[in-house]
Structure 1
Amino acid sequence: MSFRTRRRVEFRDTDAAGIVHFSVFFPWMESAEHEMLRSVGIDVLPPHPDPSDPAAAPDYQHRPITWPRVRAACDYTAAARFEDWIEVDARVQRIGRSSVEYAFRFSRQQRDGQAQAVAEGSIVTVCCRLHPGGGLDKVAIPQDIREKLATLQ
């Protein structure tokens, strides 16, 4: 995998049995995706211009773009528990004309120091132009962003 981040399991992440709830892996994937994108200089969400400054109005022909999700999946292989350290490995699995598929691998360190696989997941996003008022149009991934994403494969 091309990007790695680490997090500790919080009490709020666990269920009544003290095991990480399945739903928690989805925000962890999104968080790792955002860290990975920022690491190569890709904005997660376009900056909001100051509405009182007409010169600050964004060029909606080329920007801003955003990345809504169209698919998310996760397969679980072992339990993670409160206060475990979880390593999240992330990479770009595939770059399409307007979509990006990310792959994620979760592991935890066991007492013997060995890493144990916990889960594997994926997210597919689509590049969209964001319009004033929140409308979206699917667009081709801009070349500069495509080149940055390629470094994460």
Structure 2
Amino acid sequence: MLSTTRRVEFRDTDAAGIMHFSAFFPMMESAEHELLRSWGMSVMPRERGPNDVTWPRVAATCDYLAAARFEDILAINVSVLKVGNSSVQYGFDFSRDETPIAKGTLTAVCCRLDTSGLTKVPIPDSVRQLMQG
């Protein structure tokens, strides 16, 4: 699990100063990237070696529990919910001062990127061990 924070920026809000539903998704993606970096990985590796993989998303959800407002500091907890053969599902819990704000999920598929495009591959054992903690 990884815990991080994000500030609700003006661009994240509607005319009433309430965080727009769509703004949660980039925050989830950013927190996912932070989790991958904590494991020494990237969503898009700089090198293209035999063990380098990328993680396109295939599903995303978010359930909203309370309003977040401009300049709120949101705590985001990221955890691995499920590791499949070639996919991983992350869970996200957003809160402000311990008040639950939203819960989300992202599902990503392990792929190799080469000149012909993306090819789904099994999650390498070394990566699976990191994900399963």
Match of 1:30 in 2: 29
Superposed displacement of residue 63, structure 1: 3.7
Of 142, 145, 153, 2:124 maps to 142
Amino acid at match of 1:123: L
The structure with more radius of gyration: 1
Aligned-partner SS, 1:66? coil
Match of 1:118 in 2: 101
Residue 147 and residue 37 in structure 1: after superposition, are their counterparts in 2 closer, same or farther (change >3 A)? same
Rounded Cα–Cα distance in structure 2 between residues aligned with 1:63 and 1:144: 9
Displacement over 3 Å in runs of 4+: none
Rounded Cα–Cα distance in structure 2 between residues aligned with 1:40 and 1:130: 20
Percentage of identical aligned residues: 55
Q: TM-score, normalised by structure 1?
A: 0.83
Check the 8 A contact 1:63/1:130 in 2, yes or no: no
State the Cα deviation string for residues 90-119 of structure 1 (Å, max 9, x = none): 00000000000000000012xxxxx11000
Amino acid at match of 1:120: K
Superposed displacement of residue 43, structure 1: 2.2
| Greater strand content | 2
Amino acid at match of 1:140: P
Rounded Cα–Cα distance in structure 1 between residues aligned with 2:6 and 2:122: 33
Amino acid at match of 2:60: A
Within 5 A, what are the aligned runs for 1:1-150?
Answer: 2-48=1-47, 58-59=48-49, 62-109=50-97, 115-132=98-115, 135-150=117-132
- Stretches of structure 2 lacking an aligned partner (at least 5 in a row): none
Count of residue correspondences: 133
